[in-house]
Amino acid sequence: MDIKSIIRKKRQSGELTEEEIKYFIGKLTKEQISEAQAAAVLSYIYVNGLTEDEILNLSVAMAESGDMIDLNDISDKIVDNHATGGVGDKATLLLMPILAALDIPVAKIASRGYGVSSGIIDKLESIPGFKTDFSIDEFKNIIKNTGLCIMNQGLNFAPAEGKLYKLRNDVACENSLPILAASLMSLKIATGSNKIVFDITCGKGTYINNKEEAKRLSKLLIKLGKALNKEVACVITNMNQPIGYSIGHNLEIRETIMALKGVIAEDLADVVEALGSIMISLATENKDLNHNAKLIKQVIKSGKAYEKFKEMVSAQCGDVNFVEDYDLFKKAKNIVPVLSTEEGIVESIDSDIIGSIAVYLGAGRMKEEETINRTAGITICKKIGDYVTVGETLAYIHTEDDKKIAGTAQNLQEAFEFTTKKNNSKSRVLEIIK
């Protein structure tokens, strides 16, 4: 067996055996094959697909490429959630303290981001001192003591998945549903998750083009879950506009803190309540999703979720002063309003354009070695359904670079589409699949 025979077999639409998949992942992890060879395998998978058995075997092989963790000794109520990506996504940042405040332990292992969707680790590391590199024992101890902890996947969890994640973005295979399903499930296997809720975002600015593709991915993940004896549910959400109001690291942490204090964008609240309600139903005997949504609202209103967030930040060596006074976060040198040149009702906001602009401003990285500018980003002022007149502020650009203002403002205007018809903005949540 060698890598060239695997490349040839997949090029001819052959089904890879469990042994061939393990061989490929083993060589990839140890860097014993070239990047070109790995890219060839990915490209032929993208073109010719994978069978359900291949997806299962790829998931397990990637999970077993590094450390594995068992969380059963902490609690049998631990529920994980995972989003496939979304511009301005802060749902997980909110769900962690909300669930922990409801006595549901949260053990989150996440990664840094690439492209238009920045990672949750990047966002939390905007809080000075915030630490995510722990040993497994340290991780478990923090969960036992505080009820929640987030750890960086970059230590040695599913290292093959991390390599494939970067490579599939480099070779434009990021929207392959079989690869995406195997990637997502491998992380859950490696990190000990037995009850999982996936947020499958679809539309511009995501890996998934439309609801039909999102449903196919959801069904794949649920089948994988059953084969692995894991309880899986999926929430399909629409990315017809950025989530909430902020895109950019310091900006998103500020918005997260505000949301935990009760000032939350309606579309962000929709997603948090939908995901959180299902997570509560998996972890407890409370199966009534409407009742669970009320619990989420109550735990925010009471301030318990906010206090639990502060507790997490303190346990992970972050400066709690920045949570208590978010004005301490550094602001960009230039905060420039972008004015509307049209009148009408906002029909959609192109998340792909918004995300690309945020990366251009420095709020994202396209390569691992690139540095993030934590002050850079965009603040959205108008959302779908809002009426806008000529000259009103659509958004603010946050940048350190004077030269990027003019061109960025024009591009940002183009992200907004208007209509003359009244827009009854629908919920971002499209469907729940269990």
**What CATH number has the domain bearing residue 366?**
3.90.1170.30
Q: Which of 358, 372, 352, 347 is nearest to 408 (CA)?
A: 358
Question: Is 110 in a helix, a strand, or coil?
Answer: strand
Does one domain contain both 97 and 147?
yes
Tokens of 396: 């603010």
* 420, 344 Cβ separation under 8 angstroms: yes
pLDDT score at 207: 81
Is the pLDDT at 58 greater than 60? The verdict is: yes
- For residues 216-237, one letter each, b for 16 or more C-beta atoms within 10 angstroms of the residue's C-beta and e for the rest, the string is ebbebbbebbeebebbbbbbbb
Does one domain contain both 359 and 271?
no
Is the pLDDT at 118 greater than 70? The verdict is: no
pLDDT score at 114: 59
Rounded average pLDDT over 5-33: 96
Cβ within 8 Å of residue 30, ≥6 positions away? none
| Residue whose tokens read 């490429």 | 65
Total residue length of the chain = 434
Q: What is the CATH number of the domain that holds 92?
A: 3.40.1030.10
Rounded average pLDDT over 46-60: 96
Q: Looking at the domain assignment, is residue 430 inside a domain?
A: no
Cβ within 8 Å of residue 166, ≥6 positions away? 114, 368
Rounded average pLDDT over 59-88: 88
Tokens of 244: 């909430």
Question: How many whole angstroms separate alpha carbon 168 and alpha carbon 17?
Answer: 22
Question: How many whole angstroms separate alpha carbon 402 and alpha carbon 73?
Answer: 53
Is the pLDDT at 117 greater than 70? The verdict is: no
According to DSSP, residue 359 is labeled I
pLDDT score at 162: 84
Amino acid at 27: K
- For residues 282-302, one letter each, b for 16 or more C-beta atoms within 10 angstroms of the residue's C-beta and e for the rest, the string is bbeeeeebeebbebbbebbee
According to DSSP, residue 44 is labeled H
Using the 3D structure, point to which of 301, 324, 347 is the last residue of a domain: 324
- For residues 320-347, one letter each, b for 16 or more C-beta atoms within 10 angstroms of the residue's C-beta and e for the rest, the string is eebbeebeebeebebebebebeeebbbb
Tokens of 394: 């659509």
pLDDT score at 372: 87
> Domain containing 407: what range?
331-419
pLDDT score at 368: 64
pLDDT score at 30: 93
Confidence grade of residue 221 (pLDDT, cut at 50, 70, 90): very high
pLDDT score at 169: 82
Rounded average pLDDT over 393-414: 94
Rounded average pLDDT over 383-393: 95
Is the pLDDT at 291 greater than 60? The verdict is: yes
pLDDT score at 242: 92
Using the 3D structure, point to which of 272, 303, 324 is the last residue of a domain: 324
Q: pTM (2 decimals)?
A: 0.90
Confidence grade of residue 366 (pLDDT, cut at 50, 70, 90): low
Q: Looking at the domain assignment, is residue 229 inside a domain?
A: yes
Q: Residues of the chain with pLDDT > 70: what percent?
A: 96
Does one domain contain both 299 and 397?
no
Question: How many whole angstroms separate alpha carbon 280 and alpha carbon 177?
Answer: 27
Number of domains in the chain: 3
pLDDT score at 428: 86
CB atoms closer than 10 angstroms to residue 130:
19
Tokens of 259: 């949301």
Alpha-carbon distance values, 336 to 43, 148, 377, 386, 401 (Å): 42, 38, 11, 21, 11
Does one domain contain both 320 and 336?
no
Does one domain contain both 263 and 163?
yes
Alpha-carbon distance values, 188 to 83, 185, 370 (Å): 12, 5, 27
Mean pLDDT of the chain: 91
pLDDT score at 272: 96
Q: Looking at the domain assignment, is residue 63 inside a domain?
A: no
* 386, 419 Cβ separation under 8 angstroms: no
According to DSSP, residue 208 is labeled B
Of the listed ranges 88-102, 154-168, 272-286, 341-355, the one predicted with least confidence = 154-168
Rounded average pLDDT over 8-34: 96
Does one domain contain both 229 and 99?
yes
Q: Which of 357, 39, 75, 103 is nearest to 192 (CA)?
A: 75
Question: Is 144 in a helix, a strand, or coil?
Answer: helix
Is the pLDDT at 116 greater than 60? The verdict is: no
pLDDT score at 170: 86
pLDDT score at 92: 92
Rounded average pLDDT over 273-300: 96
pLDDT digits (tens, 9 = 90+) for 137-184: 999 999 999 999 998 876 678 889 888 988 888 898 888 999 999 999
Q: Mark residue 411 as left, alpha or beta (left: phi above 0; alpha: psi -120 to 50; beta: remaining).
A: alpha
Cβ within 8 Å of residue 307, ≥6 positions away? 101
Does one domain contain both 162 and 281?
yes
